[in-house]
Amino acid sequence: MAKRCLALTVTEIKNAKSKGTNHTLSDGNGLYLIVRPTGTKTFIFKYSHLVTSQRITLSLGTFPQMSLLDARDKASELRKLLAKNIDPQRNKQEIKRNEQLRLNTTLQAVAENWLEIKKTRVTATFFTSVKTCQSLYAYALLNRIPVTFNGAPIRSSWRSME
């Protein structure tokens, strides 16, 4: 029979002391608090990988910056992802990658890629003229604005769209 654990309380977390090594306190349902030798208290979520059944540990945040209630809410969200057969770690990486792509796909990046492709198809004078206009006018006002098409970032290379 599985060992039954009582849910953590804020008082228990505040009173938890370092024991020289990592000390783990369980809240149940995959949520744990690790008290490190330095005294740092970190919430973690443990689960089994959907395919390999390997144990995976995700850090959720440190106490008191993340409250016990917030950690429980986050763990609940991660359990919902697991119920839908979505790996929480991979999902987090994908969200981060998409946001980074969105932020890095600016008007300046798209315009520079377009100009490099057109470089071989136009005269040197025209190329220089367009590059100068872009630098002086367009980039100064619009270079930080993310460029999207139907909500999705435009690819960094226009070659695939030709």
**What domains sit in the chain, N to C, each tagged with a CATH number?**
10-86 (3.30.160.390), 105-161 (no CATH)
Residue 148 has what pLDDT? 66
Q: What residue type is assigned to position 154 of the chain?
A: I
Contact at 8 Å (CB) between 154 and 105? yes
Residue 153 has what pLDDT? 54
Q: Which helix (H) or strand (E) holds 53?
A: none
Residue 7 has what pLDDT? 82
Residue 47 and residue 58: Cα distance in Å, rounded?
Answer: 9
Residue 77 and residue 91: Cα distance in Å, rounded?
Answer: 12
Nearest partner of 43 among 56, 29, 54, 32, judged by Cα:
32
CB atoms within 10 A of CB 8: 20
Low-confidence stretches of the chain (pLDDT beneath 50): 1, 156-162
CA atoms within 13 A on the CB side of 51: 4
Residue 157 has what pLDDT? 46
Q: Which helix (H) or strand (E) holds 148?
A: strand 148-149
Residue 77 has what pLDDT? 92
- Buried b / exposed e across 44-78, counting CB within 10 Å, b at 16+? bbebeeeeeeeeeebebeebeebebeebbebbeeb
Residue 44 has what pLDDT? 93
Q: Flag whether the pTM goes above 0.85.
A: no
Residue 114 and residue 23: Cα distance in Å, rounded?
Answer: 55
* 28-57: pLDDT as tens digits: 888 999 999 888 899 999 998 878 888 888
Structure tokens at 152: 């999705």
Residue 158 has what pLDDT? 44
Four-point Cα dihedral 126, 131, 134, 136, nearest 10: -110
DSSP state of 39: S
Q: How far apart are the first and last CA of the chain?
A: 63
Nearest partner of 43 among 10, 21, 19, judged by Cα:
10
* 15-26: pLDDT as tens digits: 888 888 888 888
